[in-house]
């Protein structure tokens, strides 16, 4: 059997093990990144809420001042009503009604703003609670990641040493081809011909003659569709 091919299959097996060993770490890493992103979004939302809340507080203050002013004028009108001549009274009464209506509208608006400010406060509080929760989760994931990597680091080191040794047994052009396909084909450089005569990597049909060549197990055969190295399925089972 073609010597380089034997070692390439060995290399693929080691690479698969390395991939599996590091996959948990990769998953944890991407989960942490996701959570950090979530915190960023929540913080941004919080800033917006506080800005809006400040606007509402200012509005509320303006309306409250207006109410006080109107009430002062109303008090004065009441005094006028008591003192002025009868002819003027109708006019004053109309003014009083107008002022009272305005006070009513302002008070409604103040009530609305108070509710809205309270709602924003609750929302901000919820955001803060959520951020704390996520930060805790990040910390614990970070911790478990470190614990995990201690064990896997040893195993990984061993695998890498083994990989280096295997790589030395493969002639450079073959190794280069393998590495290139690994990069562009999601970490699978060696594949087989299915019972239906398809490349198991890209599912194109492999010509009969090439299928026969693969079965002989003594040559370097490449799939025309994906560039992967084609070997007999038995060779991958060992």
- Contacts with Zn ion, residue ranges (CB under 5 A): 199, 201-202, 223, 225-226
Phi, psi of 84 (to 5 degrees): -65, 170
Q: What angle do CA 203, 207, 209 make, to 5 degrees?
A: 140
Smallest gap from residue 226 Cβ to Zn ion (A):
3
Q: Are 56 and 116 in contact (CB under 8 A)?
A: yes
Q: Name which of 166 and 214 has its Cβ closer to Zn ion.
A: 214
Least distance from Zn ion to the Cβ atom of residue 205, Å:
10
**Residue whose CB is less far from Zn ion, 31 or 188:** 188
Nearest approach, Cβ of 211 to Zn ion (angstroms)? 13
In angstroms, what is the minimal distance from the CB of 123 to Zn ion? 54
3 state SS for 48-71: HHHHHHHHHHHHHHHHHHHHHHHH
Three-state DSSP state, 199 = strand
d(C-alpha 238, C-alpha 228), whole Å:
19
As a whole number of angstroms, the distance between CA 185 and CA 199 comes to 13
Q: Which is nearer to Zn ion, 21 or 202 (CB)?
A: 202
Closest separation in Å from C-beta 5 to Zn ion: 17
Query: Looking at beta carbons only, is 82 or 195 nearer to Zn ion?
Result: 195
Q: Are 64 and 173 in contact (CB under 8 A)?
A: no
């Amino acid at each position: 059997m073609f010597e380089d091919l034997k070692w390439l299959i060995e290399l693929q097996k080691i690479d698969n093990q390395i991939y599996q060993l590091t996959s948990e770490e990769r998953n944890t890493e991407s989960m942490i990144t996701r959570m950090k992103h979530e915190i960023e979004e929540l913080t941004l939302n919080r800033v917006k809420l506080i800005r809006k809340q400040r606007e509402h507080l200012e509005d509320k203050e303006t309306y409250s001042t207006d109410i006080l002013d109107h009430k002062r004028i109303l008090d004065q009108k009441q005094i006028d009503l008591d003192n002025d001549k009868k002819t003027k009274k109708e006019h004053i009464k109309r003014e009083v009604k107008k002022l009272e209506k305005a006070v009513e509208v302002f008070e409604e608006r103040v009530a609305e703003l108070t509710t809205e400010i309270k709602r924003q406060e609750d929302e901000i509080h919820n955001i803060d609670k959520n951020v704390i929760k996520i930060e805790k989760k990040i910390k614990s994931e970070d911790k478990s990641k470190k614990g995990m990597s201690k064990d896997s680091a040893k195993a990984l080191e061993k695998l890498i040493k083994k990989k280096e040794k295997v790589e030395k047994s493969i002639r450079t052009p073959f190794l280069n081809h393998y590495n290139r396909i690994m990069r562009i084909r999601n970490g699978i450089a060696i594949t087989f011909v299915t019972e239906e005569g398809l490349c198991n990597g890209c599912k194109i049909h492999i010509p009969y003659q090439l299928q026969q060549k693969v079965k002989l197990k003594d040559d370097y055969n490449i799939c025309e569709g994906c560039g992967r190295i084609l070997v007999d399925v038995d060779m991958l089972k060992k």
